[in-house]
Structure 1
């Protein structure tokens, strides 16, 4: 499946900002089952400094410095990405969750996607006894790791309410858990906290969702903004599997990965420092359009690769 991605993030400030530094993670990169055909990334106002790097987890990071006084800041990404469905794996295949936990504990791998990096508390995901106890209900002795994680994902979907007004970007997982409400970031953090509480590796994924569903399918929650889901490590043979608790989906071709990390703080789309006063407003627009729909609408392909 090929997608054209149109993303725009716009900040407006109450007062003029003379100087700003930003860290931007809004450009997808090649990953297993994902290939970036073309990408184009621009910011306004024009930066005086622009540096591209890859972080430890392989995410593309753009560091920019702006010295032009401005009342707005805009990031626009255009990309064409090809996504292939991963091999289908039966939920009851693979090791038990206890075996997966033991294998993670014994792993000597220190590469970016080693399970060792995703076993412990992280800045936005502390361990929480209530979340761990609730999670443990899906992990009886001997149950296959993937089957247990799929049930946990489904319980989150069934028992929690998607409500953008319930939480904000800084809401701790335990607070969202007690509210039984939140958005994709909250559901991902709760699932990660519960799995790590049991000693199981879980990673945070940010990305995009197909905007319009296939015929006969319901529209997915979180399709108009950057989305978040979870990757769980199910042992050496099966490896990492993507699960979306917001929509109760095993990740296949409807999801485009933007960045991977331990929690939201590792993959935040935009961060940095702004020198100014007063409040700011944020507007985010995302379209992830299957290529056939782009052609039918008469739109051209994504712009050629330029600065990103």
Structure 2
């Protein structure tokens, strides 16, 4: 499948500011099942490209002259194919055990541990069991845009019974962490088709131990299904903090208004 993607992030400020720094994960990862045909990343300021600790294509953006706003645009075409049975080649330098450590978003609570025990044994899980967990989360936490904030932990979203794809991913990670199973956060894009869900998306990779395979399996928790060629992967990490498309800080500026537009079309 060929996906045409445009992602615009626009910050507006109520007062002039003199310094902004942003960490960008807005360039698709180099992986076997996706190939970038063309890609452009544009913004005012200076951009320094590098690969982060998780192997993500990253940029550090700094703008040190007076400004009242900042617009970041990422766009291009990516050719994708479905990984067989959701299996993602493990080309990472990091051990999967890096992804067993809970974070501020994924700390297991009693409720998380109860949910995890419905599907997962301790230490190892088969793909079918991981998909069963996704189905349990899908049933326990309905998709509701605006129900949570970007800093909402998995336990709060589970208690509320509503959230978005980020929350579904964090709950899944927290359950895996509770059972000692490696799992990591994935940020990227999805061709939404007729779905109500946004084109900017979050899902997970979990470490599966099947009879014929041991390695990463990519699962969309919000849809309780394996990843297909409708997905483009930007970044992986322990949670939203380490894989977010855009994160940063500023000096001054007063009140901030953020507008994000993402379009993903199948060519």
Instruction: Give yes or no for TM over 0.5.
Output: yes
Task: State the shift of 1:50 in Å.
Answer: 2.3
Q: CA–CA distance in 2 between the matches of 1:289 and 1:165?
A: 24
Match of 1:257 among 226, 233, 246: 233
Task: State the shift of 1:134 in Å.
Answer: 1.4
1:94 corresponds in structure 2 to none
Q: What is the Cα-based RMSD across aligned positions, in Å?
A: 2.3
Over 3 Å counting, the alpha-carbon distance change for 1:72 and 1:234 in structure 2 is same
Structure 2: segments with no counterpart, 5+ residues: none
Over 3 Å counting, the alpha-carbon distance change for 1:60 and 1:26 in structure 2 is same
Match of 2:222 among 236, 246, 253: 246
Q: CA–CA distance in 1 between the matches of 2:171 and 2:197?
A: 17
Q: CA–CA distance in 1 between the matches of 2:122 and 2:181?
A: 14
Structure 1: segments with no counterpart, 5+ residues: 91-108, 292-308
1:285 has 2:261 as partner:
yes
In terms of Rg, which structure is larger? 1
2:20 corresponds in structure 1 to 20
2:176 corresponds in structure 1 to 195
Task: State the shift of 1:124 in Å.
Answer: 2.7
Which aligned pairs between 1:85-164 and structure 2 lie closer than 5 A? 85-88=82-85, 111-139=92-120, 145-164=126-145
Q: Give the TM-score taking structure 2 as reference length.
A: 0.91
2:70 corresponds in structure 1 to 73
Task: State the shift of 1:141 in Å.
Answer: 8.7
Task: State the shift of 1:57 in Å.
Answer: 1.1
Over 3 Å counting, the alpha-carbon distance change for 1:275 and 1:29 in structure 2 is same
Match of 2:156 among 160, 172, 175: 175
1:272 has 2:248 as partner:
yes
Q: Give the TM-score taking structure 1 as reference length.
A: 0.80
Q: CA–CA distance in 2 between the matches of 1:268 and 1:132?
A: 26
Q: CA–CA distance in 2 between the matches of 1:172 and 1:289?
A: 31
